[in-house]
Amino acid sequence: MAGNSFGQAFRITTAGESHGPGNVVIIDGVPPGIPLSVEDMLVDLNRRKPGQSKIVTQRKEADHPEILSGVFEGITTGTSLAILIRNEDQRSKDYSDIKDKYRPGHADYTYDAKYGFRDYRGGGRSSARETNVRVAAGVVAKKILAAAFGGRIVGYVTQVGHLQAQIADPTSITMDQVEKFSDGSMNPVRCPDHDIANQMIEFIDQVRKEGDSIGGVAEIVAVNVPAGLGEPVFDKLKADIAKALFSIPAVLGVEYGTGFACATMRGSQNNDHFVADEDSAEDSPVITTGSNRHGGNLGGISTGQPLVFRAAVKPTSSLLIEQPTVTKQGAATTIKTKGRHDPCLLPRFIPIAEAMIAITLADHWLRWRAQCEAAPDRTHNV
């Protein structure tokens, strides 16, 4: 009922607030025998953590995970896996002047409407600070996918404001292209179109200096995903991935495949035509499609083609610019947010989105195994 858990066979439950002692995730359904260490998690956590460049929030957090249970001698035991990430650089005083004011674009009013009171320090539970433990859980999920079917997930920024990257083939994008420029230096905006990436960085820095913020779009691609994952009605793979992405703060839109572009297309243009792989055996043909306008989903079940999803991320709501608002008592006033905030959320959004898609796929993979793998006389295997 409280809505702090996600998934069925691979299930995460999180707890924590932005300015509390820390955040924790409990993961149920982790198979035993998976090698797992703190160092494994630090790769993605370092991609998400604050203070990594001038175009993100300057809050200083090590985001060092502590594995509390579920791992023994470097491998998972199969029991509940608990991971804690402590908060180290809270500045709660930054919020004391606005504790009775409703910040535009935030959940302040809706929290009061639901609970009758709220933790005003950095948004409390509604803060994206909580996503650090989701990223840690995503590392576990990525390990499951890699071991099960060579699954790989790469996310990247395709748009910041009016600036749009040109991506010819989403499935060809590598992590190196996303994380580094060709000279080996850090790519802080995580856009694989490096010419546009440099323009994005300059634009975000300009917006930051003006005390404002800017939104954009991220694309997340999962490759080597087998056909057959997902359910046909309420738990469609596309529906669960959409919920996973919408559960991330600041996401205002999700699409997959051709997305909203399908509204102007005819069926003859949008359909993916089935073909048999010429190299597959005659008695066991590998069926695929010649295009992927449906983004790897048909009927809510994976087709074997790459999953291609996009998320629209709004501009950061906390601004240094003075904005009109009201107090809890309804009195008109103005507000400036003193805390340290991202001028653009996209660079740090990428590892969070990857984690949520990995968690969803791990859940559906384990659900498929539980129901379908042992079916008698099965003629098609994922």
Which has more pLDDT, 375 or 288?
A: 288
Please write the tens of the pLDDT for every residue from 325-362.
999 999 999 998 776 688 999 999 999 999 999 999 99
Please write the tens of the pLDDT for every residue from 122-178.
777 888 889 999 999 999 999 999 999 999 999 999 999 999 999 999 999 999 999
380 part of a folded domain:
no
273 part of a folded domain:
no
126 part of a folded domain:
yes
pLDDT exceeds 80 at position 190: yes
Q: Could you tell me the pLDDT band of residue 312, with boundaries at 50, 70 and 90? A: very high
Look up the CATH number of the domain holding residue 223.
3.60.150.10
Model confidence, pTM: 0.94
For the ranges 106-120, 253-267, 277-291, 363-377, the lowest mean pLDDT is seen at 277-291
pLDDT exceeds 90 at position 62: no
50 part of a folded domain:
yes
CA distance 49 to 65: 12
Number of structural domains found in the chain: 1
Stretch 53-68: mean pLDDT, rounded? 83
Query: Helices 346-368 and 237-246 sit at what angle, rounded to 10 degrees?
Result: 150
Q: Count helices and strands (H / E) in the chain.
A: 8, 18
Query: What is the pLDDT at residue 286?
Result: 85
Average confidence score pLDDT of the chain: 92
CA distance 190 to 53: 12
Stretch 212-239: mean pLDDT, rounded? 97
305 part of a folded domain:
yes
- In 3D, which of 38, 343, 305, 51 has the Cα closest to residue 169? 305
DSSP string of 263-276? GG--HHHHPPPEEE
Q: Could you tell me the pLDDT band of residue 277, with boundaries at 50, 70 and 90? A: confident
62 part of a folded domain:
yes
Query: What is the pLDDT at residue 341?
Result: 81
Query: What is the pLDDT at residue 54?
Result: 78
381 part of a folded domain:
no
Query: Which structural domain, as residue segments, surrounds residue 198?
Result: 5-257+292-373
Other residues' Cβ atoms within 10 Å of the Cβ of residue 237: 26
pLDDT exceeds 50 at position 300: yes
Count how many Cα atoms sit within 13 Å of the Cα of residue 159 in the half-sphere of its side chain. Answer: 13
Q: Could you tell me the pLDDT band of residue 382, with boundaries at 50, 70 and 90? A: very low
Q: Could you tell me the pLDDT band of residue 378, with boundaries at 50, 70 and 90? A: low
265 part of a folded domain:
no
